């Protein structure tokens, strides 16, 4: 497998590791913009400016007190190398997801990603670190 850089390689390893987790579905979210070759107009792609590299959901089973329903909790992982830094837009995104009750964090290794995705969800303290 040929990869462009260390962060891309790490992201691929995280995607492969999480792909075996039965209650998590995460997708690559590439954000950016390029000129349309026909019109020259800028075309923006990806979920939103600052949105994380991997987005999707983690399925949880609600407790019996809550009728035992399964729910999908929005999950957003920003992949960074050991020296990578968050942009202000990325920090804002992760805080917004966590404030809304989602799971969000910065991951610098496969174990980081597995820990965040498999940690018990606490409404007052969502897993992950920013």
Higher pLDDT, 35 or 71: 35
Q: Could you report the per-residue pLDDT of 62-102, keeping only the tens digit for each?
A: 778 877 777 889 999 999 999 999 999 999 999 999 999 89
The answer to whether position 127 is within a domain reads no
How many separate domains does the chain show? Answer: 1
Q: Output the domain CATH number for residue 102.
A: 3.40.1350
In 19-130, the DSSP E strands lie at 24-28, 32-35, 42-45, 54-61, 70-79, 103-107
**Is the model's pLDDT at 126 over the cut of 50?**
no
Q: What is the pLDDT of residue 127?
A: 44
The answer to whether position 123 is within a domain reads no
Q: What is the pLDDT of residue 61?
A: 78
As given in the structure block, the two tokens for residue 120 are: 């018990």
pTM of the model: 0.74
Residue 8 burial (10 A CB sphere; 0-12, 13-18, 19+): middle
Q: What is the pLDDT of residue 3?
A: 54
Domain hosting residue 12, numbered range: 6-118
The answer to whether position 76 is within a domain reads yes
Q: What is the pLDDT of residue 65?
A: 80
**Is the model's pLDDT at 122 over the cut of 60?**
no
């Amino acid at each position: 497998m040929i990869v462009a850089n260390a962060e891309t390689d790490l992201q691929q390893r995280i995607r492969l590791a999480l792909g075996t987790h039965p209650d998590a579905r995460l997708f690559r979210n590439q954000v950016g913009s390029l000129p349309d070759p026909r019109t020259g107009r800028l075309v923006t792609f990806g979920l939103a400016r600052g949105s994380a590299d991997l987005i999707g959901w983690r399925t949880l089973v609600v407790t019996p007190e809550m009728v035992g329903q399964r729910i999908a909790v929005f999950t957003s992982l920003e992949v960074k190398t050991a020296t990578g830094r968050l942009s202000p837009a990325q920090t804002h995104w992760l805080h917004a997801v966590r404030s809304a009750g989602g799971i969000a964090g910065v991951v610098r290794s496969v174990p980081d990603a597995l820990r965040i995705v498999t940690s018990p969800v606490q409404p007052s303290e969502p897993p992950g670190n920013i």
